[in-house]
Structure formats: C-alpha cells, structure tokens
Amino acid sequence: MALQLFCTNHVGELERFRAAFEADLPRARAAGLALVSLWRDADRPDAVHFLFDVADRARAEAFMAGPESAASGQRAGVTGGDYHWLERLDGSRDHGAA
C-alpha cells in the first residue's frame, strides 16, 4: 500500500505560511516527501491542509522532528496542527465529482 502524510496547520497569515512552506519544499523532497496537494480550508481560513506521498516513513519522521522543521513552522506563523499517516487502499481512485 502507498503511504501518504496528511497534515493540517493553523496559521496566522496565509501568504507568510505559503512563502515559508514553499521555501522548505526542497528539504521535504530530500526527505522523500512529494507534495500532492495544498488546500485552504473553506470554512476555517486559518487552516491549511496538505498531502504528501511518502517514500520512506523513517526519513519523513526525522524531517518532521528536526529543528529545521520547527524553525520553518515559526517562520510560517504556524500556531498548531496535526498530521495523519494514511495508507491508500488497493483499487481506490478518484471516481469524479457527483
């Protein structure tokens, strides 16, 4: 099964977050994370959600736990959040909008 990482961050200012997030993407890629999508919550404008494909969970966990990620979060104005490790079910795919 393919492993993915779904994250939610609560931020003060969207543009500040995006600038820091995009600046940190090369480091994320080096840790085996490939950005799939980035969303702003339609009902909570202070919340952003993003999904990564994960090549190696141990490397991804080390990336997230490192001091560089904490510093990046501070630069981005992140005030909180959470994350979930997801395994895609075999045969699941986008069936299109209703």
How does residue 91 score in pLDDT terms, banded at 50, 70 and 90?
A: low
Domains in the chain, number:
1
Q: What count of other Cβ atoms lies within 10 Å of the Cβ of residue 56? A: 13
Q: Mean pLDDT throughout 11-16?
A: 94
Cα R_g (the chain), whole angstroms: 14
Q: Is 26 helix (H, G, I), strand (E, B) or coil?
A: helix
- For residues 83 and 8, the answer to whether their CB atoms sit within 8 Å is yes
Report whether pLDDT(1) > 70: no
Confirm whether 69 is domain-assigned: yes
In this structure, is residue 32 part of a structural domain? Answer: yes
Q: Tens digit of pLDDT for each residue in 26-85?
A: 999 999 999 999 999 999 999 999 999 999 999 999 999 999 999 999 999 999 999 999
Query: Residue 57's domain spans which residues?
Result: 15-41+48-80
What is the reported pLDDT for 84?
97
Length of the chain in terms of residues written:
98
DSSP at 88: P
Q: Is residue 20 part of a domain?
A: yes
Per the domain annotation, does 89 fall within a domain? no
Could you give the CA distance from residue 33 to residue 21 in angstroms, rounded to a whole number? Answer: 13
